[in-house]
Structure 1
Amino acid sequence: MIRKILVLLILYSSNIFSQNFMIKGKVSEVSGDEIKPLFGANIYVMNSSKGTISDSNGKFQLVIENSKDFYLIASFVGYFPDTIKISKIENVEFFLKPMQLMDVDILSMKKSNFKSKLDVKNLEVITNTELEKAACCNLSQSFETNPSVDVVVRDGVLGTKKVQMLGLDGIYTQILLDNKPLVRGLSNIYGLNFIPGAWIESISIVKGSGSVTEGYESISGQINVKLFKPTNKKILLNSYLNHFGVIENNLVFSKVINNNWNTSVLVHSSLNKNPGDQNRDTFIDIPKKNLNTFLLSFERQTKKSNFYFGYRGVSELKKTGQIRSYNPMISRYKVKFDNDQQELFSKLILNFKNNKVLELNINYINENIVNNFGENLYDANQMSGYFNSIYNTNIFDMRNELRVGASYYLDSYDEFLDRNNIDIINLKRTDHIFGAFTEVQRFQLSNLSILIGNRLDYFLIKRGDKGFKFSPRINLKYDHNQNLIFKINASKAHRIFNFIPENLSYLYSTRSIHFSNYNELDPESSSNYGFSILTKFEIFNKDFNLDFDYNFIDFQNQIIIDLEESNKINIYNSYRSSFASNIQVNLDFEVSRSFEIKFSQKFNTSKSYFKIQDRLVQKYIPFIPKNRKLLQFYYYTWQNKYSTSLTIQNIGSMRVPSQGDISEFWSDRFNLISLQVTRKFKNLDVYLGIENILNFRQKNPIRSFENPYSDNFDASMIWGPIMGRIAYFGIRKNFN
Structure 2
Amino acid sequence: MKAFMLVVTLWLAGCTALFAQEKDTYTCGHIYGIVYHETHQDTLPLIHANVYWLNTVAGTTTDDQGFFRLDLSPSSERLVADYVGFAADTLSVRPGMHGLAIYLQPDHRHGEITITGEKPHTHHLHEAEVNTQIITRQGLRTLACCNLAESFENSLSVDVEQSDAVSGAKRIKMLGLAGFYTQVLVEKNPVMRGLISPFGMEFIPGFWIDAIDISKGTASVATGYESLTGQINIELAKPEQAKPVSFNAFQNSMGRSELTFTGATSVSPRVSTMLLSYASYNRQRWDEDNDTFLDMPLVTHLSLMNRWKYSGENRDGHFGFRILQDRRDGGQSHFDFDRPPSANTLYGSRNRIQRYEFFSKAGSALASGSSLGLILSGFYHHQESFWGRKSYDGDEKSLHANLIYEKSAQRYTVSSGISFSLDQRDEVFQQQLFAADEQVPGVFVEYTYKPVSQLSVMSGFRYDRHNLYGSFYTPRFHLRYQMDALTSLRLSAGKGYRVPHLFMDSPSILASAREVIFSEPLEAEEAWNAGVQITRDFSLGPDRPGNVVIDFYRTEFLQQTVVDLDHTPRAILLYNLDGRSYSNSGQIEVTMTAVKGMDVTAAYRFNDVRMTFADQLKELPLNPRHKGVLVLSYTVPNRKWQFDVTTQYNGRTRLPNTEANPESYRLGQHSPDYVQLFAQVTRKLKKLELYIGGENLTGFRQQQPILAWDEPFSPYFDSSLIWGPTSGRRFYLGVRLN
- Cα offset for 1:330? 9.6
- Cα offset for 1:260? 1.7
Q: How does 1:270-281 map to 2 (within 5 A)?
A: 270-281=280-291
Equivalent residue, structure 1, for 2:306: 296
**Contact 1:24/1:60, CA 8 A, preserved across alignment:** yes
Equivalent residue, structure 1, for 2:523: 522
Percent sequence identity over matched residues?
28
How many Å separate the matches in 2 of 1:9 and 1:551?
33
SS of the residue corresponding to residue 639 of structure 1 reads coil
SS of the residue corresponding to residue 481 of structure 1 reads coil
Identify if the C-alpha distance between structure 1 residues 44 and 8 changes in structure 2 by more than 3 Å, giving closer, same or farther: farther
1:247 pairs with 2:257: yes
SS of the residue corresponding to residue 232 of structure 1 reads coil
How many Å separate the matches in 2 of 1:143 and 1:268?
20
**Higher mean C-alpha displacement, 436-445 vs 675-684:** 436-445
* TM-score, L = length of structure 2: 0.88
**Higher mean C-alpha displacement, 94-103 vs 597-606:** 94-103
Q: Deviations over 1:192-242 (max 9, x none)?
A: 111111101111111112111111100001100111122124211111000
How many Å separate the matches in 1 of 2:653 and 2:571?
20
**Contact 1:251/1:268, CA 8 A, preserved across alignment:** yes
Matching residue within 700, 712, 715 for 1:711: 715
The residue type equivalent to 1:533 in the other structure is: I
SS of the residue corresponding to residue 695 of structure 1 reads coil
Q: Deviations over 1:563-593 (max 9, x none)?
A: 0122110111114221111111111111223
- Cα offset for 1:658? 2.1
Q: How does 1:423-434 map to 2 (within 5 A)?
A: 425-434=432-441
- Cα offset for 1:65? 12
How many Å separate the matches in 2 of 1:29 and 1:163?
39
- Cα offset for 1:365? 0.8
Identify if the C-alpha distance between structure 1 residues 669 and 506 changes in structure 2 by more than 3 Å, giving closer, same or farther: farther
The residue type equivalent to 2:42 in the other structure is: E
Q: Deviations over 1:638-672 (max 9, x none)?
A: 22101111111101111110232425512111111
**Contact 1:544/1:590, CA 8 A, preserved across alignment:** yes
Q: Deviations over 1:19-59 (max 9, x none)?
A: 997774545455322113366x587999999988734x444
Equivalent residue, structure 2, for 1:557: 559
Equivalent residue, structure 2, for 1:605: 608
Identify if the C-alpha distance between structure 1 residues 354 and 209 changes in structure 2 by more than 3 Å, giving closer, same or farther: same
The residue type equivalent to 1:701 in the other structure is: P
- Cα offset for 1:371? 1.2
Matching residue within 322, 330, 338 for 1:320: 330
How many Å separate the matches in 2 of 1:683 and 1:59?
31
The residue type equivalent to 1:447 in the other structure is: Q
Equivalent residue, structure 1, for 2:268: 258
1:403 pairs with 2:415: yes
Q: Deviations over 1:581-636 (max 9, x none)?
A: 1111111111223111111111111111001xxxx101111222101111111111
Matching residue within 228, 233, 238 for 2:237: 228
Identify if the C-alpha distance between structure 1 residues 497 and 292 changes in structure 2 by more than 3 Å, giving closer, same or farther: same
**Contact 1:230/1:299, CA 8 A, preserved across alignment:** yes
Identify if the C-alpha distance between structure 1 residues 525 and 96 changes in structure 2 by more than 3 Å, giving closer, same or farther: farther
- Cα offset for 1:353? 2.1
- Cα offset for 1:308? 1.9
* TM-score, L = length of structure 1: 0.88
Equivalent residue, structure 2, for 1:384: 398
1:415 pairs with 2:424: no
Q: Deviations over 1:98-132 (max 9, x none)?
A: 999999894x5222221100111111111111111
**Contact 1:506/1:715, CA 8 A, preserved across alignment:** no
Equivalent residue, structure 2, for 1:421: none
User: Any gaps of 5 or more consecutive residues in structure 2?
Assistant: 336-342
SS of the residue corresponding to residue 550 of structure 1 reads strand
How many Å separate the matches in 2 of 1:74 and 1:563?
63
Equivalent residue, structure 2, for 1:454: 461
Identify if the C-alpha distance between structure 1 residues 619 and 81 changes in structure 2 by more than 3 Å, giving closer, same or farther: farther
Identify if the C-alpha distance between structure 1 residues 336 and 4 changes in structure 2 by more than 3 Å, giving closer, same or farther: closer
The residue type equivalent to 1:391 in the other structure is: Y
How many Å separate the matches in 2 of 1:101 and 1:274?
55
Identify if the C-alpha distance between structure 1 residues 525 and 45 changes in structure 2 by more than 3 Å, giving closer, same or farther: farther
Identify if the C-alpha distance between structure 1 residues 427 and 175 changes in structure 2 by more than 3 Å, giving closer, same or farther: same
- Cα offset for 1:350? 2.0
Equivalent residue, structure 2, for 1:494: 497
**Contact 1:82/1:94, CA 8 A, preserved across alignment:** no
Equivalent residue, structure 2, for 1:532: 533
Equivalent residue, structure 1, for 2:735: 731
SS of the residue corresponding to residue 130 of structure 1 reads helix
Matching residue within 209, 215, 237 for 2:218: 209
**Contact 2:15/2:414, CA 8 A, preserved across alignment:** no
**Contact 1:556/1:575, CA 8 A, preserved across alignment:** no
1:721 pairs with 2:725: yes
Equivalent residue, structure 2, for 1:164: 173
Q: Deviations over 1:63-101 (max 9, x none)?
A: x8998889999889xx88989999998667586979999
- Cα offset for 1:299? 2.0
Matching residue within 567, 574, 581 for 2:570: 567
**Contact 2:540/2:594, CA 8 A, preserved across alignment:** no
How many Å separate the matches in 2 of 1:250 and 1:667?
38
How many Å separate the matches in 2 of 1:625 and 1:599?
18
**Contact 1:29/1:98, CA 8 A, preserved across alignment:** no
- Cα offset for 1:305? 2.2
Matching residue within 441, 448, 465 for 1:441: 448
- Cα offset for 1:490? 0.9
Q: Deviations over 1:348-374 (max 9, x none)?
A: 212222222111122121101111111
Equivalent residue, structure 1, for 2:629: 630
The residue type equivalent to 2:699 in the other structure is: N
- Cα offset for 1:286? 2.0
**Contact 2:33/2:86, CA 8 A, preserved across alignment:** no
SS of the residue corresponding to residue 666 of structure 1 reads coil
User: Any gaps of 5 or more consecutive residues in structure 1?
Assistant: 419-423
Identify if the C-alpha distance between structure 1 residues 204 and 264 changes in structure 2 by more than 3 Å, giving closer, same or farther: same
Identify if the C-alpha distance between structure 1 residues 698 and 393 changes in structure 2 by more than 3 Å, giving closer, same or farther: same
How many Å separate the matches in 1 of 2:111 and 2:587?
38
Cα RMSD of the aligned pairs, angstroms, is: 3.4
